[in-house]
Amino acid sequence: MIIAAADGSALGNPGPAGWAWYVDDDRWAAGGWKHSTNNVGELTAVLELFRATAHLDDELLVQCDSQYVINSVTKWMPGWKRKGWRKADGKPVMNVEILKEIDAELVGRRYRFEWVKGHVGHPMNEAADQRARAAAEAFRSGLPVPAGPGWADGAVAEADEPGERVIAETSTRDDDDELGGGGRDADEVPATLFDLDEAPDAWQTLTVELSTEEHERLVQRARAAGLSPEEFLRGLI
C-alpha cells in the first residue's frame, strides 16, 4: 500500500495558491497558480497524486484534511454524474472540470481516503502542507516553484505555468485567513455542513458569523453587483 498526503494552500483565498502531494522526501510534487483557491489546490493535489501513481498497481491511501475533497470524491460524485454534473438544486457542480479529471483517474484504481486533522503536527499532512504553501509563496513572490522530484522513477513534476486556475467555488477560509475573529479552517468544517449539498429539495438555513470588516466588504460587493447581501451570497453557491 502507498500512503500519501495531499494538500492545498491559498494566500488570500483566492490568491496565490499551491498544491502538493507527499509520500516521502524522495517522492513528492508541488505546483500552483498566481490566483486560485484552497479547494482548487486540494483537489488538484489529489488529481496529481493519482496521475503520478497511475503506473502502479498498489492500493493508494490518500490522507486529506479536507472533508470537502473526500466527500466530493467518495460520496457525492456518483450522484452528480447521474444528474449531468449538477447538484440536487439543479445548479452546476463547483470545480467540475477538476472533478471530471479525478473521476477519470479513478477507473481501475484501488484507493481509500482517510481524513486527518490539519495543522496539528501530523507528519505527512504537515509535509504536504509545507510544500503546497511554499508553491503558493513562490507564485506570490515571482520565484521558481519548488516542484519536487515527482515519483521515485525519476519523473520530475512540472510547475504549472504562471496564470490563473479557473475558480468556480467558494471557501469558508483558507490557510491564512480567519472567519469571525476566532476562525477555523475550512477543512475543519463538520461533514454535516457539506451534506447540505445533497439534501432534498428544500430551503436550508446556514448561519455564518462575520466580523464588522467582513460584513462591510460583503455589503459593498453586493451593492456593486446590484444585489442584496443575501442574493449575493446565494449566487456564490
Q: What is the per-residue pLDDT across 19-34, written as a single tens digit (0 to 9) for each?
A: 999 999 999 999 999 9
Distance of CA 108 to the CA centre of its chain: 24
Residues in the chain: 237
117: domain range? 2-168
Instruction: Give the pLDDT confidence score for residue 218 in this predicted structure.
Output: 77
Separation of alpha carbons 132 and 137, rounded Å: 9
Q: Which residues contact 11 (CB under 8 A, 6 or more apart)?
A: 17, 133, 136, 137, 140, 174, 175, 176
214 falls within a domain: no
Structurally, the chain folds into a number of domains equal to 1
With beta carbons less than 8 A apart as the criterion, state whether 21 and 4 touch.
yes
| The amino acid at 85 | W
Bridge-based pairing state of the strands 15-24 and 27-36: antiparallel
Query: Is residue 227 situated within a structural domain?
Result: no
pLDDT at 235: 65
> Cβ distance 118 to 185 under 8 Å?
yes
- In terms of pTM, does the model score above 0.75? no
Asked, for residue 9, whether it belongs to a domain, the answer is: yes
Q: Residue 40 is part of a domain; what is its CATH number? A: 3.30.420.10
Catalytic residues: 7-8, 42, 65, 119, 129
For 110-139, the pLDDT digits (tens) are: 999 999 999 889 999 999 999 999 999 999
